[in-house]
Amino acid sequence: MKPRIRQPQRGARLRPFLDALAARYHRAALLGTDPLAVVRGFADPDDRGFAALFAALLAYGNVKQINASLRDLFGRMDHEPASFIRGWNYAAGFERLTGGGGFRHRFTDAEDIACLCQLLHHATRGGRTLEDVFVAGYDPAEPDLVGAATRFVEALFAQPFTPHFDRTRMLAKSSFKHLLPVAARGSAAKRIHLFLRWVIRPDDGIDLGLWRRIPPEKLLMPVDTHIFRVGRNLGLIRRKTASLEAAREMTAALRAARPEDPVCYDFALCRLGILGDCPPVSELTRCRGCDLHDVCVRRHRLESRARRSG
């Protein structure tokens, strides 16, 4: 019986295949399939930082719906999200967010966004950047950014909710709790780690390279349904749910391939799912045309079944 290959070893063996995948999918031409397409519409770094946070936190649902919601939201901010937040005025801001039927993205409503704007306004007063707020809770001795991401959200929750929002009610409101995930509570917290990937990885035409004080090696893989399925298919995840431990498991494997930048393959791997090249129900004809077909555990199982049934 052959010994089972550990995930980190498997990650190292997959690097040539992952590099080929990145060459095909990690391209600005595919930005239209990602919320970063909207974020990159802002030239000013301050606008980009705030836009990236909103885009990542609203990155649930299909991309077309997400991008439409972002365009609506930023239109309500006069396409100046940094100025809208830094100069936050409850009466004027709330009216903009609730006017014309009100902002809504699935179950995130105008009140959720308005409350977040108020918390961000207070957290970044005095010219502080989002990076300043995050770095205040960053511990370089920690192996990843789960603790820092948790402290970042807690720092926002520590800002004044009053006089316009009731802290207890907002923190109990399901849509507001969903908007700001607490990374240390055991879920994959995909959206907060997606935001961190965008702002920490260097500007390569995809990611933004806005933050310089945290190394990309600390990033955690943003595990959504696409990444979880692909990770399982490649044998990089053995967990059966998209949890924090699953994200850490996949990141550890990819760190063996790229120690300095373990999440550099995220955009490419996610395109496999978004573009339907790795569909939820695997099809051998499609699998055989994939850059990863030689190393896909799922594909080998399907081939074996096909041979037995044939």
| Digit-coded pLDDT (tens) for 245-264 | 999 999 999 999 999 999 99
CB-hemisphere CA count at 13 Å for 35?
27
User: Are residues 171 and 139 part of one domain?
Assistant: yes
pLDDT score for 12: 87
Structural domain harbouring 156: 34-217
User: Are residues 196 and 123 part of one domain?
Assistant: yes
User: Are residues 99 and 63 part of one domain?
Assistant: yes
With pLDDT > 90 as the criterion, what percentage of the chain qualifies?
A: 84
CB-hemisphere CA count at 13 Å for 139?
8
pLDDT score for 254: 96
Mean pLDDT (whole number) for 5-22: 83
CB-hemisphere CA count at 13 Å for 66?
21
Q: Which one has a higher pLDDT value, 221 or 283?
A: 221
Contact 188, 249 (CB under 8 A): no
Domain end position, chosen among 217, 232, 251: 217
Measure the CA angle with vertex 100, ends 97 and 102; round to 5°: 40
Domain end position, chosen among 186, 201, 217: 217
User: Are residues 140 and 50 part of one domain?
Assistant: yes
* pTM confidence score: 0.94
pLDDT score for 44: 98
Q: What is the mean pLDDT of the chain?
A: 93
On the question of pLDDT at 289 being above 90, the answer is no
For 85-94, 132-141, 272-281, which range has the lowest pLDDT when averaged over its residues? 272-281
Mean pLDDT (whole number) for 146-165: 98
CB-hemisphere CA count at 13 Å for 282?
21
Mean pLDDT (whole number) for 80-102: 97
pLDDT score for 258: 95
Confidence bin at 227 (pLDDT 50/70/90): very high
Phi, psi of 292 (to 5 degrees): -105, 10
On the question of pLDDT at 271 being above 50, the answer is yes
* CATH code for the domain of 247: 1.10.1670.10
Number of domains in the chain: 2
Mean pLDDT (whole number) for 128-147: 98
